[in-house]
Amino acid sequence: MNKVARSVLLFALLTLTVSTGLPSAPAQSADMQYSVWLIESSRFMGVPAGAFMPDRAFVPGSSNKMNNKPFFDLPVNIGVIKGGRDIVLYDTGWKQQDYHKMTGTQHWAPIAQQLAQLGIKPEDVTKLVIGHGHWDHAGQLMDFPNAVLYVQKAELEGIEWALNYPNPHIRAVNTDPGGCARTPACGYPPLTLQEIYGKVLSGKAVIVDGEMEIAPGLIIHPAFRAHTAGSQLLEVHTAIGPLVFGSDSYSSWEGIRDWMIANPQQTDTVQQFLAYEKCYKITGGYEHCVAAHEPLSYSEGYPLTRNSWVGPNGSRAAEIVLAPGERSRKP
């Protein structure tokens, strides 16, 4: 075979490889459909409206529905995603025994009990994607011995930067006994970070740098500074189209719908809006954006989560979508 013929053959082989190989990965992602549930780790009761959404601060006597509520009850939502060989949690809530009187909390129940109502055991969970590293979203990691943790590199870098900042008010984990006024290291107590470290130590952590497809049809998108330095979203392919989980970048679903920021902590509000836009782009609207603290969760007011029931200790759960062949878990 002469040189020209070899080149032609090589080109043909390459063309064949490219034409058969490239489409197969997206097709696999597009074909994959997950079942999705939402469970309520706990509920923060009576949070001042303006502390949650500055534009919805309570105005006494106001008849404007944006300003006529003094307080919100905020669920702490965990996404449960099942498909293929994976059971994935998006956020992991927190463990009340460690913080039990601190938060004016009700309806907390052990995560094992909450998953049991879906027929899932903690050891069945294969992946944990934390939207960010705050204590109320990245707790109880060590309760999932077989699960691999996915956390953004930027999240860890953001915390470490704060810890080493010269000004003591800026580097403090808490600036005073009553809280920490949204300073950079606020919300990251030693135990939470210790558990993240524990996953790394046991070889069960992936430090993500930007976007990553962690399984067919499960895609992490960075949302840096949309709530914290290394916030991340999770796109999930389902039978009703893609859903996007946003943790506290999507604290309020009404906020996404009405373009209002929510729960500013280590937050660049422009980046939070861009994170909202990401959901609009991926899903074609705001209906399929899954919020972490939406007060309307588990009701008709937040239609995606209306197929709900009451579970352990009065916590709520919702069946959002089932993959073909998956049975309903709703009692």
Partner 1 sequence: MAQRDIAVPGIVGSSHRDLGGRPWHRWRRTIALGVVLLGLVGIVLAALAREALLPRSAVTVAVPPNPFAPPRPALTQAEEAYARGLWKIHDDVKLSAVRMTFAGLAYKAGEIDRRTLKARVDAARDVYARAEIRARALEPPPSLRRVHTDYLAAIRLYRQSAVEMAKLGADGREQHLLAAYPLSETASKKLLEVGDALWPGEYVPN
Residue 176 exposed, middle or buried by CB count within 10 Å (0-12, 13-18, 19+): exposed
Q: Work out which of 32, 47, 129, 304 binds partner 1, going by CB under 8 A.
A: 47
Structure token digits, residue 253 = 């679903």
Closer residue to partner 1, CB minimum distance, 31 or 209: 209
Q: Work out which of 50, 189, 241, 242 binds partner 1, going by CB under 8 A.
A: 189
Q: Build a one-symbol-per-residue string for 217-256: x at contacts with partner 1 by CB under 8 A, - elsewhere.
A: -------------------------------x--------
Residues 95-134 touching partner 1, rule: CB under 8 A, are: 98-104, 134
The nearest distance, CB 70 to partner 1, in angstroms, is 6
Q: Work out which of 39, 87, 109, 172 binds partner 1, going by CB under 8 A.
A: 172
Residue (of 269, 93, 232) closest to 156 by Cα position:
232
The nearest distance, CB 222 to partner 1, in angstroms, is 18
DSSP-based three-state secondary structure for 234: strand
The answer to whether residues 155 and 229 touch, using CB atoms and an 8 Å cutoff, is: yes
DSSP-based three-state secondary structure for 16: helix
Residue in this structure with the two tokens 């080149």, named with its chain if needed: 7
* HSE-CB of 104 using CA atoms within 13 angstroms: 9
- Long-range contacts of residues 100-105, Cβ cutoff 8 Å, at least 24 apart: 103/42, 103/44, 103/136, 104/44, 104/45, 104/46, 104/47, 105/42, 105/43, 105/44, 105/45
If one asks whether residue 169 binds partner 1 (CB under 8 A), the answer comes out as no
Q: Which residues lie below 8 Å from residue 149, measured CB to CB, with a gap of 6+? A: 128, 130, 141, 196, 199, 200, 204, 205, 206
If one asks whether residue 187 binds partner 1 (CB under 8 A), the answer comes out as yes
Closer residue to partner 1, CB minimum distance, 35 or 103: 103
Structure token digits, residue 52 = 């949650």
Residues 286-305 touching partner 1, rule: CB under 8 A, are: 293
Candidates 69-77, 80-88, 218-226, 273-281; binding stretch for partner 1 (CB under 8 A) = 69-77
Q: Work out which of 31, 123, 160, 213 binds partner 1, going by CB under 8 A.
A: 160
Residue (of 76, 77, 58) closest to 68 by Cα position:
58
The nearest distance, CB 304 to partner 1, in angstroms, is 22
The nearest distance, CB 7 to partner 1, in angstroms, is 42
- Can you give the binding site for partner 1, defined by CB under 8 A? 44-48, 60-61, 70-71, 74, 76, 98-104, 134-137, 156, 159-160, 163-164, 171-174, 177-180, 185-191, 193-198, 200-201, 207, 248, 263, 265, 293
